[in-house]
Structure 1
Amino acid sequence: MPVNPDLQGRTFPPSAPYLVGREKVREFARAVFATDPASFDVDAAKAAGHADLVAPPTFPVVVQQLTLDQLLADPDAGIDFSRVVHGDQRFSFARPVVAGDELTGTLTVTSVKTLGAHSMVTAETVIADASGETVVTATSTLVVRGDE
């Protein structure tokens, strides 16, 4: 089943709120070999002008994945996850993610392109804090391999 081109322009419901915890920031920072003391030490983060630990720049993928799960689980999407390759990932920040943030993501499919037997699906997730202010926009392009 090919990817449904009618996905383009579709916005999914907001994800459940994700509370960014200090230990999650530290775990993620260790996993990506981050070295910024502001990701590990609250005093270092505060000395740098932040309210709490600062998540590494790729941390928003944790919240974005919650929204991508909605897309991938939608039977009308026509996306076979076993055929998906992550093609591109970008983040555009309004401010850093810090421990204590309660984040919600809302995904919109911005593009569906067919390239031969393959499809490229680009999705933009706007990640907002509890007050509704945008913190970061995460953009992913998924390549869905078709039958050869």
Structure 2
Amino acid sequence: MIDPKFIGKTYSPTKYVVGIEKIKEYVNAIGETSPLCRDENAAAKGPYGQIVAPPTFAVVYTKDIAAQMLFDPDLNLNIPMLVHGEQEFVFHRPVKHGDVVLTTGKLVSAEARKQNLVVTFEAESRVDGDLVTTSIYTFLVRGGAL
């Protein structure tokens, strides 16, 4: 079980520079077909004036903050027993090539459900101080409430 004093704990910001090649690799990997994410000429004529990352690219720029939270020695999560339960994103604006994304995170809750522990983390990603993505991660640690 996680000591309640750690609820609300915040994590050091992580930085991710969004590169056009990373966006292209990601859209190829997931099969994204939008020309706004794939075609520089089409994207230049679109509403954002350049290629934008697909919404799920958020997993790329939030992975380091998620790792900080999951492997935090204060929380002592039993990683082999951890199951990824849910992930929710709230998108505030598209992320574009050249954006420098700073992501912060905090432990929102840790509660027992039967013998399991349900842990929720929240991450906020910003570009130039403006919120671009809020990410909510929910994990279940089997037997973690014992």
TM-score higher than 0.5 here? Answer: yes
Which residue number in structure 1 is paired with residue 63 of structure 2? 65
Q: Which amino acid aligns with 2:5?
A: D
Q: In structure 1, what is the Cα distance between the partners aligned to 2:111 and 2:31? A: 35
Select 1:95's aligned residue among 77, 93, 96: 93
Deviation of the 1:77 alpha carbon: 0.5
* Matched AA of 1:13: S
C-alpha separation between the residues in 2 aligned to 1:124 and 1:99?
24
CA RMSD of aligned residues (A): 1.6
Structure 1 match to 2:6: 7
2:119 equivalent in structure 1: 121
- Change in Cα spacing, 1:11 to 1:110, as seen in structure 2 (3 Å) is same
Aligned equivalents of 1:37 and 1:86: distance in 2?
Answer: 31
Native 8 Å contact 1:7 1:112 kept in 2: no
Distance (whole Å) between structure 2 residues aligned to residue 11 and residue 101 of structure 1? 23
The answer to which structure has the higher strand fraction is: 2
TM-score (norm 1): 0.90
Correspondence for 1:133: 130
Q: Tell me the CA shift for residue 71 of structure 1.
A: 1.1
1:84 alignment partner in structure 2: 82
Q: Distance in 1 between matches of 2:65 and 2:93?
A: 20
**CA deviation string 1:42-69 (max 9, x = no partner):** 1221211214211111111112111011
- For 2:73, give the aligned amino acid: P
CA deviation after TM superposition for structure 1 residue 91, in Å? 1.0
46-55 or 34-43, larger mean C-alpha shift: 46-55
Q: Which residue of 1 aligns with 2:25?
A: 27
- Tell me, yes or no, if the aligned pair for 2:69 and 2:121 is still in contact at 8 Å: no
How high is the sequence identity, in percent, across the aligned residues? 36
Return the alpha-carbon distance in structure 2 between the equivalents of residues 98 and 104 of structure 1.
Answer: 14
The TM-score, its normalising length taken from structure 2, stands at 0.91
Gaps of at least 5 residues in structure 1 are none
Q: Is the 8 A contact 1:4 1:78 kept in 2?
A: no
Give, in whole Å, the separation in 2 of the partners of 1:44 and 1:3: 50
Query: What is the CA–CA distance in structure 2 between the aligned matches of 1:46 and 1:91, rounded to whole Å?
Result: 26
Change (3 A) 1:83 1:95: same
